[in-house]
Amino acid sequence: MNKADKIKAIQKTILGAEKQPGDEVILHDLLEKTGDIKRNYQDYLTTGDLDIELQQIPDADYELCTALLTAILREGYHSMFDNTIRQRAKAGQIRSLLERMVETLQNSKS
């Protein structure tokens, strides 16, 4: 998928995530479609504490953003009953992450 298509897919996901906050299927589908699921997402994380890692969003590159989104999905999978993805969506973390992904793609030279 080229850069322009990724931007469109992410923007569509932002709209979908607003309608259904915390819907992990929408987020997973995005990463699948763009080929950006990070099976080795832990390699991108330095502290092991996702709350601390998410503070990097304003300066994150695209790869780190996709690793953080993958980590959020894994966190949600491991804690199905406490709505962590929905809580992160309500806190604006998922939208911030998706917006940063768009920004990094728009600013990239390739």
Give the chain's mean pLDDT: 91
- Tens of pLDDT along 4-24? 999 999 999 999 988 887 788
Minimum mean pLDDT range among 25-39, 60-74, 82-96: 82-96
pLDDT for residue 81? 54
Residue 56 token pair: 């990097």
Give the residue numbers spanning the domain of 42: 3-107
How many domains does the chain contain in total? 1
- Overall average pLDDT of the 57-82 stretch: 86
pTM above 0.75? Answer: yes
